[in-house]
A = this chain, B = another copy of it.
Amino acid sequence: MGLAAADNDILADALQRIQEEVNDAFDEFLPPVADGRSSLVDAMRYAAIGGGKRVRPLLLVATAELYGVSRRAAVHAGCAVEAIHAYSLIHDDLPCMDDDALRHGKPTVHRAFDEATAVLAGDSLHALAFDILTRTDTSSDPFVQAELVRCLALASGHEGMAGGQVMDMAAEDSTYDLGQITRLQQLKTGALLGASVEMGAILGRVPPEGRTHLRGYARDIGLAFQIADDLLDVEGDEAKAGKALRKDEGQGKATFVTLMGVEKARAQAGMLVEQAAQHLASYGDKAKLLVALARYIVERDR
């Protein structure tokens, strides 16, 4: 089930391209300023430019491509999702949350700047996401803009990512079973990955009833992504990951790996990826990149 060499090339090229496009777009959205806000904008740039695999923007762009959406519009919407992801990492890393010193191989925002600036840089990236979605070069159609906003707001708030975060905090020393961990991760990681796919379909003007296969794909890769993260926490290389690992065990935290064991968790991730690919069977070769991305999600080393 590994990536074939050709698919690997397609994926490596696609990742490199989206990384450049997202960095360039953030550089354009966030020009440095020379007034009293300079530390804030510098911290936003520090968090948004350079780091990150850009899995979410690539998911969005690859989905939008199925429907012939303009590349520029899809990259912009991808930056909105990535701005939400980046803000959540800044806040997660804070001393009162995970208290992490390293992210994407460099000091976390509150270490490189200070805590107050980190809180506000996160908040400002959060607002930037909705600013980006309502620009005319993301979509000139207010109906599409409003649907993108609605999708992203629901995925990031208390019914999505932030809700999952709170459940995750309670997972330390908890007695969560596999069903509860699955629900937690569907919110914490799955909601934003799902929104990435959904927003690609929204840009493609696919009505909700036409998104069933895409949603099935997104659900499966969301869980696979989190299982892969749990495996990385146990088996990964900190230098490659660019962040602290072996944290779950120290916190006595229930994860897919502590509940299923390494072997079963890996098998489950592989099964989910195959299932994700099957959801896209009707798209044929057009969905090659999304299928390769699903495989990458469980095979990545960071």
**CB pair A119 B142 closer than 8 Å:** no
Interface-located stretch among A122-130, A238-246, A260-268: A122-130
- Asked whether any CB of chain B lies closer than 8 Å to the CB of A149, the reply is yes
**CB pair B91 A123 closer than 8 Å:** yes
**CB pair A180 B36 closer than 8 Å:** yes
Q: Measured between C-beta atoms, what is the minimum distance from A283 to chain B in Å?
A: 28
- Asked whether any CB of chain B lies closer than 8 Å to the CB of A66, the reply is no
Interface residues of A in 114-156 (CB under 8 A from B): 114-117, 119-120, 122-124, 126-131, 133-134, 142-143, 145-147, 149-150, 152-154, 156
**CB pair B149 A184 closer than 8 Å:** no
> Which of B126, B152, B153, B158 contacts A40 (CB under 8 A)?
B158
Q: Measured between C-beta atoms, what is the minimum distance from A248 to chain B in Å?
A: 17
The count of chain A contact residues (Cβ–Cβ below 8 Å) is 55
> Which of B30, B117, B129, B166 contacts A166 (CB under 8 A)?
B117
Main secondary structure of the interface of A (DSSP, over half): helix
CA distance A170 to B37 in the complex (A): 9
CA distance A170 to B38 in the complex (A): 11
Scoring A35, A87, A88, A183 by chain B CB atoms within 10 A of each residue's CB, the highest score goes to A35
- Asked whether any CB of chain B lies closer than 8 Å to the CB of A163, the reply is yes
**CB pair A167 B37 closer than 8 Å:** yes
- Asked whether any CB of chain B lies closer than 8 Å to the CB of A165, the reply is yes
Q: Which residues of B contact A134 (CB under 8 A)?
A: 146-147, 149-150, 153
- Nearest residue, chain B, Cβ from A150: B134
**CB pair A149 B130 closer than 8 Å:** yes
**CB pair B146 A37 closer than 8 Å:** no
**CB pair A94 B120 closer than 8 Å:** no
A residues in contact (CB < 8 Å) with B: 30, 35-37, 39-41, 44, 87-88, 91, 94, 96-97, 114-117, 119-120, 122-124, 126-131, 133-134, 142-143, 145-147, 149-150, 152-154, 156-158, 160, 162-163, 165-167, 169-170, 180, 183-184
Could you name 9 residue pairs across A and B whose Cβ atoms are closer than 8 Å?
Answer: A36-B170, A37-B158, A40-B158, A120-B162, A120-B166, A123-B126, A127-B154, A127-B162, A131-B153
